Structure 1
Amino acid sequence: MDQHDRLAELGDGAARATRSGDLARAQADLAEFTTLLKAHNDVEERGIFAAMAALGEFVELTDELAAEHVDLHARLAAFDGVPPVDELVALLADLDEHVEKENRGVFPFAYSAFSATEWAIVDHAHQP
């Protein structure tokens, strides 16, 4: 969840920098954002989503969230340099909605229902 906070900081920073015309700062924030988002999503999919699938719980939701990961990455890849601020803001709003789905559904369930077996799947996904 700390990574969600960092992603929000980087996205907001990129949007602010774009608005102010500091394209170098916007590019740097967006590059870090993109790298962190990819790593974060990979770990979620191999970890918590896989553990939920193993339990047969929230499979529709985790499939939806994984599809949203693909969409977010495709949208980021389509940006040529720094995107127009309205496109970036729209992507960040969609990411906020995505994070809320995780925060309201996936994470509370995991904290209350996972056994050592499911946590081992999550732990394994966090290994380099």
Structure 2
Amino acid sequence: MLKDTNFRLYGSDLWVWIPDYQCGTYTNLMVVNGEPEFNGDRTDEILNPSLIIEVLSPSTEAYDRGEKFRKYRSLASFYEYLLVSQTEPYIEQYHNLDRTSNDRWQWQVHSHLEQAIALHSLNVELPLPEIYRRVHF
């Protein structure tokens, strides 16, 4: 899906560094548009994710929905957020309606396997069956 594009996909082996809060956190997946920007000489702390995807678990769900999302929104490059359930076909999508502000986010739910998610940050559609391809509910 990202082949021959300017987007780069990163797994959970890199941190997102959040300067406004002087903290870093791991994501499940993140996409950077163009070259990654690193925190100083650190090569494990990215400053410019545009899309972040979190797979929800009972131990992290409240943090992913609340404080973590609030902190992510302070990043100028951050544009889209997916919260993915691992117990049912259910994905919450947030995307920023105003790139000059971090307070105009639209929320949408995708809960049917026949649906596709329009990823605004990547300008592609991703069918839910692809996301849940190897998941048995």
TM-score, normalization by structure 1: 0.28
Structure with greater proportional strand content: 2
Structure with greater proportional helix content: 1
Structure possessing the higher relative contact order (Cα contacts under 8 Å, 6 or more residues apart): 1
